[in-house]
Structure formats: C-alpha cells, structure tokens
A and B are shown apart, each in its own frame.
Chain A
Amino acid sequence: MPHDLTRRDLLALTAGAAAALVPTAAPAQPTLRPIPPSREAIPAVGLGTWITFNVGNDKVARDSCTEVMRAFFAAGGTLIDSSPMYGSSQKVVGHGLNKLDSAKVFAADKVWISSAASGPAQIEASRTAWGVPRFDLLQVHNLLSWEPHLKTLFAMKALGSLRYVGITTSEGRRHAEFERVMRAHPLDFIQVTYNIIDREVEARILPLAQERGMAVIVNRPFQEGDLTRKLARHPLPAWAAEIECTSWAQVILKFIISHPAVTCAIPATTRVDHVRENMAAATGRMPDAALRARMIAHVAKL
C-alpha cells in the first residue's frame, strides 16, 4: 500500500521540476524521492561502483573516477553505493570524496563477510576506506550471514552511528528468503535488481516494500551494459521523446524510477558523459502506467 504524500514529500518531488523551469545554464535538478521511514528526500538516480570503480592504485583511472563523481555531484546526485566485495572501489570512492565536497554524499555501503564477529571490523575498514565519519546506509550484502549482521546494524542505528539499515540481493537470487527478512525486520532500505527485462520483483518484493514503508534501491539497471548494448542496435522509439529521453539508457532508467515503489536506481559508469546522461534521466517527465506498459511491450518485441 503506497504511503500518503506529505507536504514535505510534495515539495521534494516537485523540486526537480521547479528547478527545470528556471532559465539557467546549470543542469536541471534531479527528481527527489522520499525515504519512507524518515521522509528524507534523495535523488532518484545514484551512482553504483561495481566493476567501474575497481581500478586499484591506477592514479589516472582513480582521477577519472573522481571526475565521474564530480559530474555526479554537479548534476545533483548524492547516493553512492559500494561494497567490500567490489575490490578497490571503496578506496577509490574515498579518493574522490577526499578531493571533492564529500558533504554532499549519501554514503551507502554493505557488510559482506561470513563471520558474524568480523562484521564490525569490516564495517570500520569500509568507513576508513570511504573517509566518512559514518555511513548513511549499511546493507547486508546478498543476505550473507544476515541475521547477526542485521543485529549489528540495528545496534549501530540505535547508537546513532548509522542512519539506515538495509539488505540486498541481485539477479533475482533468494527472493523467498529476502521477502521473509522484509516481513520480519523493520528495514529502511532494500536493494534489488530491476529493469525493463528483469521484472520479477514487481510481483511481490516491490509491493511489499511499499506496504512495509521501505525505500528501494535498484541495482544492475543496464544488466552490466548488456541491455544498453542490445538496445543500441535499435532506433529509439517515438515515445521516448514524450518522456524527454535522448538515449536508451535514459529510457531504461526512467522506466525503473517511474515505478512507484522505487526510490533510486544506481547505474555504474566510468564516463562523465554517461553519468550526466544518467542524471538527466532523473529530470523531466516520467512515463505513466500506460506508457510503461507500452515500453515493456516494445522492448519485448526487439
């Protein structure tokens, strides 16, 4: 059941559209979405770091990632998501935050370790890698040892050293167990894979998130680039102009973030032009239910 919109929500949701009307050279501000438990608004497009930010100690590549982050923040983005599973990605994010205005970041990370006792140490190592005083959101990665890690995360939240608690899965794994955890625990966030092809979460997970008042982060929006590569062989349909899309990537992102349960999609990229293109998808008109159905039918035929 969708929650009722408050005045604050309405202000947040219309902020992007209002900004778009201002005649200025600055990019339009992205649509904001409320995190249900707190009503705090975050932009509907974030930044993922899987593969793209794992560049090790390569100074050139690290600086390139910093430029991606700079463009992301300049376009109004805030939520960056990483994990200890992603190799050097956390340190590369930390490198960028050190060079940029880190105050803008909504720091979302994960705990990913079998040993329950090692969870706090891993979280602290992650925090040090990011160079942030605390994380905004910590998620149990792919439900690995989720019971003890959730206890740790809820304890951190109670102490004020963490703002939000979540769980993640990807590629449709362990959805039955995922659903059980969602029903049994007062999570603030869930993270799942969702795109115009992979729509399994529409049946149960997304409605349950709405019912339970949980924010939803969507990972792998482009199927790690496979989806955009496949669609790039086909011309952009005429209806794309109706929702102000100039690329398939924007079509895919607008499809995702127009689902009423979705709070934020987190595409990953190594390119500044792509991050700008992604952030632009969080602005302007969004597809309504009828157009979403047309979008699904069109892509299914390709």
Chain B
Amino acid sequence: MSEWWTYSLSDFLLFSPRTYYRLFELYNLAIWPAQLAALAGGIAILMAWRRGGRAHGRMISGLLAGAWLWVAWAYLLEHYDTINWAASYFAIGFVLQALLLLWVGVVRDRLRLKWWRDPGSRLGLGVFVLAFAIYPLMAPLFGRPWLQAETFGVAPDPTVVATLGILVAAERKQLMLVVIPLVWCIVSGATLWTMEAPEAFVLAAIAILTLAWMGLRRSAPIP
C-alpha cells in the first residue's frame, strides 16, 4: 500500500461499532455454555497461582494456551473473520502465542508465579483480576446488553490482558511471551479507539503498564 501516511486509523475500520459488539452477542449465544468452562479455567488459574507448588506454572501455562487456541479458532476464525479479513492473520498470532506458552510454560516450566510477594506479583494479580472479573462488566457499564459481555478465555481482549497480568507476576521476565499480547493491545486498542470506545484506554493502560514493568524489573533466576 503506497502513500501509507495518507491513511488514518478510520480507513482501516471495516465495520460499525454496532456490528462489532453485536458480533460478541452472537458469539456468546453460539458458544454457550463455553463461558462456564472459561470461568472454571480462570478460577483454576487463580487457585493454582495461590497454592503454588511444583506443577502450578505448567498448569497455568497449559490453561492459558488453551484459552489462546480457543479464541483463535472460535472467535477469530469462526466469527471475527466474517467482518474483518485480517482476522485469519490475527488467529495465526494467537496460535503462535499458544505454542510459545506451551513451550516456555509447559515443556520448559519457565513460567512460575509469585503470589502477593512483591510489587510485581501484586500488580500482575490486579491485572489478572481486572481481566477476569471486571472485563465482563464493561458491556453493561458502558450501556450495552449483558449478552455482549467479553469474558476471559473466550474473548480476545480479556484473555490478552489476563495473560499480561500473569507475565507481570512471573518470577522470570519472559519477553518472548509479551510480544504478541502487546501487539494485540495495539491492534485492538486502535480498533476500539477508532470506534471511540472507552475500553481502548484500558488496553492502552495495561500495555504501557506491562512495558514499564518489564523495563524496570531485572530478570531473576528461578529459586
């Protein structure tokens, strides 16, 4: 595409806000009761995180990878692709992230978390809880129906934010795992910004917070 500087963000917005949010409504109806499984998965992550122990990193990584794979297939390819031809490329990114989580977290066991031990673990837990508990409330908070709620494990934004929370709380800095979630924050944040949706600020804030934290912290060895 030549003369790219002449394009504004709105030139890339292919759909109306109404269509975008209605897609979540149709998606939620189509996948029900998968949301309950995602809810159980989120609680399982919190419990494993709280309990710690030898397998907690592998379990959390596996559950997160499952969420990224589900979003890639069920949301991006099966639904978002009907209104955005770029969705299949996004799906590739989500599958890559799932594979990275499996490799780093499950195979190599390098994604272990701390629970409420230092600023990073508290910040990460706060971000995760935001994604898990607050994100589904945003639809009604911003005047949209409950059916359009975006929930962790099935919708991309809360899944990405929850992942960033976990990466912020990780004992070891995992830059490789941060790249795709941050790229998604830019892509989705730009979409929401163009639609003048207030959620854009949430994604931007989380992305900046993650970047700042990753820049500040030093990579610590696993004890």
A residues contacting B by CB (< 8 A) are: 51-52, 54-58, 61, 85-88, 142, 144, 171-174, 224, 270
B187 contacts the other chain (CB 8 A): no
Q: From residue B13, how far is it (CB to closest CB) to chain A in Å?
A: 7
Stretch at the interface among B49-57, B79-87, B118-126, B177-185: B79-87
State whether A56 touches B83 (Cβ < 8 A): yes
State whether A173 touches B14 (Cβ < 8 A): no
B16 contacts the other chain (CB 8 A): yes
In the complex the two chains form, what is the Cα distance from A193 to B130 in whole Å?
A: 44
What residues of B have a CB within 8 angstroms of the CB of A52 in the complex?
A: 16
Known: A61-B22, A86-B14, A224-B10. 18 other contacts (CB 8 A): A51-B15, A51-B16, A54-B83, A55-B83, A56-B83, A57-B26, A57-B82, A58-B22, A58-B23, A58-B26, A85-B14, A85-B85, A87-B14, A87-B15, A87-B82, A87-B85, A171-B11, A174-B2
Interface of B is mostly: loop
What residues of A have a CB within 8 angstroms of the CB of B6 in the complex?
A: 171-173
What residues of B have a CB within 8 angstroms of the CB of A144 in the complex?
A: 1
What residues of B have a CB within 8 angstroms of the CB of A142 in the complex?
A: 1
In the complex the two chains form, what is the Cα distance from A144 to B84 in whole Å?
A: 19
What residues of B have a CB within 8 angstroms of the CB of A173 in the complex?
A: 3, 6
State whether B3 touches A174 (Cβ < 8 A): yes
Cβ contacts A to B, 13 pairs, < 8 Å: A51-B15, A54-B15, A54-B83, A55-B22, A56-B19, A56-B23, A56-B83, A57-B26, A58-B23, A87-B14, A142-B1, A173-B3, A270-B16
State whether A54 touches B3 (Cβ < 8 A): no
The 7 A-B pairs at the shortest CB distance, nearest first, are namely A56-B82, A56-B83, A87-B14, A87-B83, A54-B15, A173-B6, A55-B19
What residues of A have a CB within 8 angstroms of the CB of B11 in the complex?
A: 171
In the complex the two chains form, what is the Cα distance from A54 to B83 in whole Å?
A: 6
State whether A56 touches B14 (Cβ < 8 A): no
In the complex the two chains form, what is the Cα distance from A61 to B21 in whole Å?
A: 13
Interface positions, chain B 25-41, Cβ under 8 Å from A, are: 26
What residues of A have a CB within 8 angstroms of the CB of B14 in the complex?
A: 51, 54, 85-87
In the complex the two chains form, what is the Cα distance from A58 to B6 in whole Å?
A: 33
B residues contacting A by CB (< 8 A) are: 1-3, 6, 10-11, 13-16, 19, 22-23, 26, 79, 82-85
| Given A57-B82, A87-B85: A51 in contact with B23 (beta carbons within 8 A) | no
Q: From residue B214, how far is it (CB to closest CB) to chain A in Å?
A: 35
In the complex the two chains form, what is the Cα distance from A57 to B23 in whole Å?
A: 9
What residues of B have a CB within 8 angstroms of the CB of A51 in the complex?
A: 13-16
Q: From residue A279, how far is it (CB to closest CB) to chain B in Å?
A: 22
Q: From residue B5, how far is it (CB to closest CB) to chain A in Å?
A: 10
Q: From residue A208, how far is it (CB to closest CB) to chain B in Å?
A: 20
What residues of A have a CB within 8 angstroms of the CB of B13 in the complex?
A: 51
In the complex the two chains form, what is the Cα distance from A54 to B23 in whole Å?
A: 11
CB closest residue in chain B, given A59: B26
What residues of B have a CB within 8 angstroms of the CB of A57 in the complex?
A: 26, 82
In the complex the two chains form, what is the Cα distance from A87 to B22 in whole Å?
A: 16
Q: From residue A285, how far is it (CB to closest CB) to chain B in Å?
A: 34
Select which of A61, A87, A224 is within 8 A of B84 by beta carbon.
A87
Q: From residue B182, how far is it (CB to closest CB) to chain A in Å?
A: 26
CB closest residue in chain A, given B6: A173
In the complex the two chains form, what is the Cα distance from A56 to B25 in whole Å?
A: 13
CB closest residue in chain B, given A142: B1
Q: From residue B213, how far is it (CB to closest CB) to chain A in Å?
A: 36
In the complex the two chains form, what is the Cα distance from A56 to B83 in whole Å?
A: 5
In the complex the two chains form, what is the Cα distance from A56 to B14 in whole Å?
A: 11
In the complex the two chains form, what is the Cα distance from A144 to B4 in whole Å?
A: 13
What residues of A have a CB within 8 angstroms of the CB of B22 in the complex?
A: 55, 58, 61
State whether B19 touches A54 (Cβ < 8 A): yes
What residues of A have a CB within 8 angstroms of the CB of B1 in the complex?
A: 142, 144
CB closest residue in chain A, given B4: A173
Q: From residue B194, how far is it (CB to closest CB) to chain A in Å?
A: 11
In the complex the two chains form, what is the Cα distance from A196 to B45 in whole Å?
A: 57
In the complex the two chains form, what is the Cα distance from A54 to B14 in whole Å?
A: 7
What residues of A have a CB within 8 angstroms of the CB of B2 in the complex?
A: 174
In the complex the two chains form, what is the Cα distance from A200 to B40 in whole Å?
A: 58
CB closest residue in chain B, given A224: B10
Q: From residue A59, how far is it (CB to closest CB) to chain B in Å?
A: 9
What residues of B have a CB within 8 angstroms of the CB of A56 in the complex?
A: 19, 23, 26, 79, 82-83
What residues of B have a CB within 8 angstroms of the CB of A55 in the complex?
A: 15, 19, 22, 83
In the complex the two chains form, what is the Cα distance from A151 to B46 in whole Å?
A: 60
CB closest residue in chain A, given B84: A87
What residues of B have a CB within 8 angstroms of the CB of A86 in the complex?
A: 14
In the complex the two chains form, what is the Cα distance from A270 to B18 in whole Å?
A: 11
